[in-house]
Homo-oligomer: A and B are copies of this chain.
Amino acid sequence: MLEELKQKVYEANMLLPKYGLITFTWGNVSGIDREQGLFVIKPSGVEYDKLQVKDMVVVDLKGQVVEGMLNPSSDTQTHLKLYQSFPEIGGVVHTHSHWATIFAQAGHDVQAYGTTQADYFCGAVPCTRDMTEIEIENEYEYNTGEVIVERFVDLNPNHMPGVLVKNHGPFTWGKDPLLAVHNAVVLEEIAMMAFHTEIITGNERAMPKFLLEKHFMRKHGPNAYYGQK
């Protein structure tokens, strides 16, 4: 069942330790098959150096496990909500990578200071609001997805492929699991650089909007000219 997708999701998960984005089991990647309405996700709490393709868990869009011997990631309901609300995304990543988590802990957007960010994120990477005690007590993980979606009411998830969950850490996404990991790596880099940019300037003055859009569009716009055809 979904063997090809399981392989992709497994490989995308294994990139998290490769890129230094996780410690122990603090992260997970999923990928969705939109036609079948099923997504594949890492099992909960399994060490990366013991993880195998066959451990991947298949979940339907009601959040029920359809196949797999292990419990799915404890963050499964958050992934589910993102797939439900953002119809064009094909993969989701969650990590506790250092610099993105620092901004999440600070409740602080990652302001856009340079073209590195503009090449992937068309603006400041947003941070969610505090969750209420009720949201945390019941269906906490699904509600985590809800506050993310609420934050995107005026944002396009295809132009802003990531978010910081307050006092928690980053989620990123993309057209497939690999691109979602790619965006997780970029978010960590730009958060590291944004932190130090703010410290040295003492302010949060973003880059000019036309420079931001120029860079995003030369890579992602209809007339993109970065890279090969």
Beta-carbon contact of A136 and B214 below 8 Å: yes
Contact of A208 among B167, B193, B226 (CB under 8 A): B167
List CB contacts (< 8 Å) of A207-222 with chain B: 207-208, 210-211, 214, 218
Contact of A193 among B43, B105, B182 (CB under 8 A): B105
Contact of A196 among B25, B102, B131 (CB under 8 A): B102
Beta-carbon contact of A44 and B227 below 8 Å: yes
Beta-carbon contact of B200 and A195 below 8 Å: yes
Nearest B residue to A199 by beta-carbon distance? Answer: B199
Beta-carbon contact of A45 and B228 below 8 Å: yes
Beta-carbon contact of B131 and A211 below 8 Å: yes
Chain B residues with CB below 8 A from A102, complex form: 193, 196-197, 200
- Does A140 interact with chain B (Cβ within 8 Å)? yes
Give the complex CA separation of A207 and B198 in angstroms: 23
Beta-carbon contact of B226 and A136 below 8 Å: no
Q: Scoring A residues 84 to 95 as 1 if CB is less than 8 Å from chain B, else 0, what string do you get? A: 000000000000
Chain B residues with CB below 8 A from A137, complex form: 210, 214
Beta-carbon contact of A228 and B44 below 8 Å: yes
List CB contacts (< 8 Å) of A93-123 with chain B: 96, 98-99, 101-108, 113-116
Beta-carbon contact of A46 and B228 below 8 Å: yes
Give the complex CA separation of A192 and B98 in angstroms: 8
How distant is A24 from chain B, measured CB to nearest CB, in Å?
7
Chain B residues with CB below 8 A from A98, complex form: 189, 192-193
Chain B residues with CB below 8 A from A115, complex form: 96, 167-169
List CB contacts (< 8 Å) of A129-164 with chain B: 130-131, 133, 136-137, 140
Q: Chain A residues in contact with chain B, CB under 8 A?
A: 23-26, 43-46, 70-71, 74, 96, 98-99, 101-108, 113-116, 130-131, 133, 136-137, 140, 167-169, 182, 185-186, 189, 192-201, 207-208, 210-211, 214, 218, 225-229
Cβ contacts A to B, 24 pairs, < 8 Å:
A24-B186, A26-B116, A71-B227, A74-B218, A74-B226, A74-B227, A96-B115, A96-B116, A98-B189, A99-B196, A101-B193, A102-B196, A104-B114, A105-B114, A106-B200, A113-B167, A114-B168, A115-B169, A116-B169, A130-B208, A133-B208, A136-B210, A167-B208, A198-B200
